[in-house]
Structure 1
């Protein structure tokens, strides 16, 4: 729903996340150190990287044995055979190979570069994979925080994706809980009293992108609080943001 004033704040005092860390407890502790008490319909945007770290999704290169097909593809594209193998393992299919990038459809259904795998902000010789089920991760954190603060919340797991036919990258929602990912205007009236027939706004993506403005890529701030957006409470998840293949113009 439209809101007149929205506040976006990064949450400091979040330690370096390790495997099997209890993220919910860490977030609660960080909020209290920031003297922040969550309010009804607050939204927390959490970067994918700390979810992956806590869920043991960091893989050392020595633990990957590339197949012959991965070795062949790696020579074609100019990537290491280890990374190429991981890209294949984490994908359903390859969409495009060009300019040293492999665009894939991940096992989740996301269309992104290199199956969402990257090596930023992690130790050398490791690769960071996307969480297995980002929606489940978001839901687990939301339930714990709602119980702690006795409010209704939205939780979004964000990651950085490129965009076809556009330069630059933006953060999008890969995991959603508690908030409707889409805002449907169908059946409403526009400013000229005409019926709106098709407009559906990806509010979860918009919130993820807005949070990135205070998070950035270098300041080690992996969590943002968005306050003032009157979202629709929903049990739906990020699957709504994935275009069905029978409706896609580019499949």
Structure 2
């Protein structure tokens, strides 16, 4: 048979996980004689059982736990709150889960999912003698798409991002931005066999050995998939971005890297008009008019209005404030 095959298996029979449980032992026992781990396998485990094993079950509800898991609010719509959480992930309710847990309790994400993955990888190697990669998964929604899919929030021993930049396709075109998120793709494949109500927290993928790192090399982990604040083009919801810009909040986080001077001039002309009196001077932009929209646009672009130039009381001098 030619081509490439990916096999995914999620065993039944995993008991309820409690604080202190040995996840490696639970997986090996559940696999039993149906599946023997082999070098190059990718083991996926839900963040929920990792959190339960690590004692991350808290009393209360989502609202009680949300402040401690939130770095900043990205958007709110009704009862839905999207936040950037302490792991840098943008998720509904910071990834806090109230399903499959005792009433009056919630499960929060592991303290360090990459370290959780590294630890499980070491324990599986010690128990079985094979080199596998480990991915800690969680469910997340996506901008522009209905529904949810599983993504990697922790990883060890896996090439999490397969950077194709510089490679050439069959037609001789050099790839510029293509970089498959292998760890996320593995998490999504695992969820198909685990199923949300299947009580199958583990899945094993076979066929990705070329993405599995040698023993002792854990790689950068799933943290490498998180966009930095300055690289995120969608740091706020549309409504929240307008409100924060109009409020002139001094915290520029979430607006991304500062616009270049040329970009800023273009946006100013779009808002103020093509004939607006705007000058580009080295690293500053000068608007020779008193227009209240200028500080708002400057803030949204990572710039600020400094004191007026001495030459004119109406000049607004803009300088970048976001590195």
TM class by smaller structure:
0.7 to 0.9
Partner of residue 49, structure 1? 48
Flag the structure with larger Rg.
2
Deviation, 1:232, is 4.3
SS in 1 for 2:229: coil
Among 83, 86, 101, the alignment partner of 2:62 is 83
Partner of residue 166, structure 1? 145
Deviations, residues 187-229 of structure 1 (Å, cap 9, x unaligned): 1111212111221110100000011101111110110010011
| Structure-2 separation of matches of 1:112 and 1:14 | 27
SS in 2 for 1:50: helix
Partner of residue 21, structure 1? 21
| Structure-2 separation of matches of 1:166 and 1:58 | 30
Deviation, 1:83, is 2.6
Could you tell me which runs of 5 or more consecutive residues in structure 1 were left unpaired when the two chains were aligned. 62-81
Partner of residue 39, structure 1? 38
Does the 8 A contact of 2:43 with 2:135 survive in 1? yes
SS in 2 for 1:201: coil
Does the 8 A contact of 2:132 with 2:212 survive in 1? no
TM-score (norm 2): 0.68
Does the 8 A contact of 2:133 with 2:212 survive in 1? no
Residue 156 of structure 2 corresponds to residue 177 of structure 1: yes
Q: CA RMSD of the aligned region, Å?
A: 1.3
Deviations, residues 3-56 of structure 1 (Å, cap 9, x unaligned): 70010011222111111111122222222x244221111001101111111111
Does the 8 A contact of 2:41 with 2:132 survive in 1? yes
TM-score (norm 1): 0.87
| Structure-2 separation of matches of 1:193 and 1:36 | 42
Partner of residue 119, structure 2? 140
Could you tell me which runs of 5 or more consecutive residues in structure 2 were left unpaired when the two chains were aligned. 236-323
SS in 2 for 1:250: coil
1:93-112 matches, within 5 Å, as: 93-112=72-91
Residue 224 of structure 2 corresponds to residue 240 of structure 1: yes
Q: Which has the higher contact order (CA 8 A, sep 6+)?
A: 1
SS in 2 for 1:183: coil
Does the 8 A contact of 1:13 with 1:34 survive in 2? no
Deviation, 1:149, is 2.3
Does the 8 A contact of 1:11 with 1:34 survive in 2? no
Aligned residues: 228
